Amino acid sequence: MSSVLYDTPGPRARRRSLIGSVATGIAIAALLVFIVFRVAETGRIDAELWQVYTDPPRGSSAVDVWTSLLINGLGATLRAAAVGGVLALAVGLVLVVLRMAKPWWVRYPATAIIEVFRGLPVILLMFFGVLGLGMPIFQGVVFGLVIYNAAVIGEILRAGIVSLPSGQAEAGSAIGLTQPQILFSILLPQAIRRMLPSLISQFVVLLKDTSLGFIIGYTELLRILRINTEFFGESYLFVLFFVGAAIYIAVNFLLSRLAIWLERRGSMKAAGGAVHADTEHAETHPEAGQKP
């Protein structure tokens, strides 16, 4: 069996792939061991330093440390990501509708907006929101996230629409649907479903970009880690940022798994519908499966 993009690998190709995967895994493991030993030599992972999470010094409690990380830091990160993600998706939908419009005086400005905002750094847009537009810090962070990611999401959705068979739009036009009806009723729902993994991957990027708010003073997870390091001392830098990195990885891993689950669920629904239709046809017309 082969797919549209590539043939199914044979035994030799699978063996080479396995050897390459094992060799890569060994190399990564060796690199991690080397890093751990080098860090251990500096004393930054001594056992007493990890007590900052169970019995922290300077009159603090473990509840204070974990509250600052999970409630204050991660909570602020997720809040900015949630608001920015919803607004970016809404603005991205508007941009792709304008981008796919027939009149050139609508399509060309939308194309220019998408291309310009995709090429601007997120932190520059955050600075523009705070300094140029006088927004509060939270709104400036969300502004930068929305403007950049809306442009990217608009292009993702446009790619999904372009990838659909042209016959679907032609069929909609043949039954009397207008261009907006074809876009909203036929093309956009399929494009969103088809590009859902890419959309969720972009939301992962958006979540990571919230850490740029640290530069303009937004108190998210990265800034909380820095505040804790300044409070407890530079010797706690590694153990604090190690757990912070683990939190980022865990959240992004959950989002990635969500994308995989949604993709498989959509594929299973499509396959289940086809199988159900074939089975129903065979039950209704049993003679169809018999050879003449």
Assess contact for 74 and 222: CB atoms under 8 A.
no
Instruction: Please report the pLDDT score of residue 279 as a whole number.
Output: 42
Q: In this structure, what is the dihedral angle of CA atoms 254, 259, 262, 265, given to the nearest 10 degrees?
A: -100
Contact predicate 232/51, CB 8 Å:
no
φ/ψ (deg, to 5) at 7: -80, 150
Q: What is the pLDDT of residue 4?
A: 44
Which H or E run contains 113?
A: helix 104-118
Query: Using an 8 Å Cβ cutoff, are 224 and 69 in contact?
Result: yes
Going from N- to C-terminal start, the domains of the chain cover 61-266
pLDDT score recorded for residue 114: 93
Closest CA to 266 of 204, 203, 200, 196: 196
CB 139 within 8 A of CB 128: no
Amino acid of residue 196:
L
3-state secondary structure of 5: coil
Instruction: Work out the number of other CB atoms within 10 angstroms of the CB of residue 24.
Output: 10
What does each C-alpha distance from 237 to 2, 3, 51, 57, 249 come to in angstroms? 50, 48, 13, 14, 18
Q: Is 195 helix (H, G, I), strand (E, B) or coil?
A: coil
Q: Render each residue's pLDDT in the chain as its tens digit; 292 residues.
A: 444 445 677 788 888 888 988 999 899 999 888 887 887 777 777 888 898 999 898 888 999 999 999 999 999 999 999 999 999 999 999 999 999 888 889 899 999 999 999 999 999 999 999 999 999 999 999 999 999 999 999 999 999 888 888 787 888 888 888 788 888 888 888 888 888 888 888 998 999 999 999 999 999 999 999 999 999 998 899 999 999 999 999 998 888 888 778 777 766 665 554 444 444 444 445 444 444 4
DSSP 3-state of 46:
coil
CB 282 within 8 A of CB 288: yes
Which residues are CB-contacts of 78 (< 8 A; sequence separation ≥ 6)? 207, 251
pLDDT at 151: 95
> Residue 213's CB: how many other CB atoms inside 10 A?
28
Q: Give the chain's end-to-end CA distance (angstroms, integer).
A: 29
pLDDT of residue 269: 64
Give the pLDDT of residue 180. Answer: 80
Write down the CATH number for the domain with range 61-266. 1.10.3720.10
What the block records as the tokens of 273 is: 């519908």
| Residues in the chain, overall count | 292
Closest Cα partner for 110 from 95, 129, 121?
95
CA distance linking residue 280 with residue 270, whole number of Å: 15
Phi, psi of 54 (to 5 degrees): -120, -40
- Residue 255 has a pLDDT of 84
DSSP 43: T
